[in-house]
Amino acid sequence: MPRKLVLFDIDGTLLNVGPVNRRVIQDALLEVYGTEGSAATHSFAGRMDNVIIREVLEETELAAEEIEEKFDRAKAAYIRLFRERATPADVTLTEGVVPLLERLASRTDILVGLLTGNFEASGRHKLKLPGINHFFPFGAFADDAPHRNDLPAVAVEKARQLTGERFSGHDVVVIGDTEHDINCARAHGALALAVATGTYSLDRLRTHEPDVLLENLNRPDIVIGEILRPSTI
C-alpha cells in the first residue's frame, strides 16, 4: 500500500494565535499603504495571507496598481513585525497536537507536511514558538500559489522532490478547520478531515460535508485510523 501524505493547516488546526496577528497585519498595512482598510474586522479564517492583504484594501481609495506595486513590501513588513512581536505566550496549541505529531513522526507509512495560507516565514515562526516546527520537513504556503486550491498540487510536488514518491489525490489527507480546507482537499481528490478546533463549530463544518469530522485531534488512534482508511475512490 502506498504511503499517505498528511497535510496540516496551521491556524485553528495545529494552533491558535492571539490578537497579535491581526494587530500586526493592521500595522504592516498602515506602514506601507497608510491605511489598514478593513483589517480590524475582516474574517481571516481559512484565507490565504496574500488574499487577506488584497481583500482588506478593496474598499479603500487605493488604486489596484498601488496595491500590487507595494504588495511585496506589505508582506515583508507583516513578516518582520510578526517575528518581532509574537511570543510563545501568543500561541496556543490545539488539544492533542503534540502527541499526535509524535505518533505520526514514528510511522513509516505516513509522511507529514503543511498546507497553509500562511506565508512561509511567518507560518514557520508560528510553529517555532511552541516548538513544533521540526515535525514538518516541507509545506505549501501562500508564497507558492495565488489560491488555496492550488496548494495540494504544490505540496505533492514538494513531497516528490523530498522523497521521490508520487502521491495520488486519494493518498493525500488534508486536515483543516474551515470549509476552505475541505474545498481544497476536494479540488485535489484528497480526503478532507475537518476539525472543530478553530473558529468553526462542528455543526458549521458538517454542512460542508468533510469526509471525516472530529471535535479535536486528541485521540491519535482515531486520527491515524482515519488517515489510513482505505480510499473508496
Grid cell for residue 191: 480526503
11 is a contact residue toward Mg ion (CB under 5 A)? yes
> Which of 169/198 has CB closer to Mg ion?
198
12 is a contact residue toward Mg ion (CB under 5 A)? yes
9 is a contact residue toward Mg ion (CB under 5 A)? yes
> Which of 35/149 has CB closer to Mg ion?
149
- Going by C-alpha positions, the residue among 174, 193, 197 that lies closest to residue 184 is 174
Q: Which helix (H) or strand (E) holds 56?
A: helix 49-57
Q: What are phi and psi of 190, to 5 degrees?
A: -95, 165
Q: Which segments of the chain are extended strands (E)?
A: 4-8, 15-17, 91-93, 110-115, 139-140, 172-176, 191-195, 212-214
Site string for Mg ion, 51-90 (x = CB under 5 A): ----------------------------------------
49 is a contact residue toward Mg ion (CB under 5 A)? no
- Going by C-alpha positions, the residue among 190, 50, 174, 163 that lies closest to residue 114 is 174
139 is a contact residue toward Mg ion (CB under 5 A)? no
Question: In whole angstroms, how close is the CB of 45 to Mg ion at the nearest point?
Answer: 6
Site string for Mg ion, 173-202 (x = CB under 5 A): ----x-------------------------
Of 148-156, 170-178, 206-214, 222-230: span binding Mg ion (CB under 5 A):
170-178
Beta bridge partners of 228: none
Residues 216 and 94: beta-carbon distance below 8 Å: yes
Q: Which residues would be at the binding site for Mg ion (CB under 5 A)?
A: 9, 11-12, 177
